[in-house]
Amino acid sequence: MIHCEGLVKIFKSDNVEVVALQGLNLSVGAGEMMAIIGNSGSGKSTFLNILGGLDRPSAGQVRVGEWDLLKIEDKQLVEYKRKTVGFIWQNNARNLLPYLTALENIEMPMMLNGKVDRGYAKQLLEWVGLKDRMHNKLQQLSGGEQQRVAIGISLCNHPSLLLADEPTGSVDSQTSDMIMDIFRKLNKEIGVTIVIVTHDMELAGKVDRVVAIRDGLTSTEFIKRNPNLEELGRLSEHKSTFEEEHEEYVVLDRVGRLQVPKAYLDALQINGKASMEFDGEKIVIRPPKNEKLA
Ligand SMILES: Nc1ncnc2c1ncn2[C@@H]1O[C@H](COP(=O)(O)OP(=O)(O)OP(=O)(O)O)[C@@H](O)[C@H]1O
């Protein structure tokens, strides 16, 4: 569904250039639900905005389904945004209309797109658990319920890809769990591919695959050891940690480059150069033997 290779995004303003993505590699299969984590400023939102067609890449490859987002023309981009992607932001509810009902809010973008499908609008509200509240005005709904209406709206155009940027950033942990359950259900039932950007490791731990971005590059990937244990985990008393549940992998690009975590380099006081040895089984990276280089 998504294939990125060497994706670069440079922001230019006056004489300053910011390289937000420095050659990012990532593939996401159709029907996958995964999370992207990373520190503030690592490039997560930039990446999501490119996938959503809200921003243009500077170089590299980025394909979503049949679309090549580097080469796409402006007119096609409008079509891509209308037909392929749905977007959810942290404060999506701000874009909703408080004096309309939940159902009317869902129907509004359908109307703007030229066709209201009331049956589907109702179905969407049912999927997000708001069947009984569909005739309530937005202002009568809680923040979490409004966010669920926003999830419904993101699916109005039957997208094959749903992008969520900090979707639970402004709700409590119970609502956050409910929103994740809705994503999982949508992913299973309608097969929509879901990419969630988050700071929250606990939230990230609820999906099978988590990719960490550092300084505009994919650095580490975490894969759930046993996805099927999730249900058991929910029922059991023992709350396992993210590390217990996930296997951690370092990501190598096509030519074998990898990012060594800064904490490791600091701990070994490696700065600029290191010695690397292969002992037949392992690759060992150490501070340079020549002290002058250390
Ligand atoms: N429109 C822009 N113009 C100039 N620089 C930008 C622009 N948008 C983002 N940046 C810069 O690109 C880098 C990556 O920003 P981005 O918002 O993608 O990070 P992020 O990982 O989503 O951070 P956060 O978690 O804080 O939202 C940052 O250094 C940011 O300052």
Instruction: Tell me if 37 sits within 8 A of 210, measured CB to CB.
Output: yes
Using pLDDT thresholds of 50, 70 and 90, give the confidence band for residue 191: very high
Using pLDDT thresholds of 50, 70 and 90, give the confidence band for residue 230: low
Q: Where in the chain are the domains?
A: 2-84+159-259, 260-294
Residue among 40, 41, 60, 57 nearest 49 (CA): 57
Report the atom number in ligand 1 closest to the C-alpha of 197.
Answer: 22
HSE on the CB side for 273, CA within 13 Å? 8
What ipTM was predicted for this assembly? 0.95
Q: What is the CATH number of domain 2-84+159-259?
A: 3.40.50.300
- Please state the separation of Cα 262 from the chain's center in Å: 23
H-run or E-run covering 245: helix 242-245
| Residue of minimum CA distance from atom 12 in ligand 1 | 20
Mean pLDDT of 105-133: 92
**pLDDT for the residue 205:** 80
**CB-based burial label for 255 (10 Å; 0-12, 13-18, 19+):** exposed
Mean pLDDT of 180-205: 89
pLDDT at 243 over 80: no
74 Cβ contact list (under 8 Å, min separation 6): none
Mean pLDDT of 8-23: 89
**pLDDT for the residue 136:** 94
- Token pair of 77 as six digits: 């981009």
- Mean confidence (pLDDT) of the chain: 87
pLDDT at 237 over 70: no
Enumerate residues lining ligand 1, CB below 6 A: 11, 13, 18, 20, 38, 40-46
**pLDDT for the residue 227:** 66
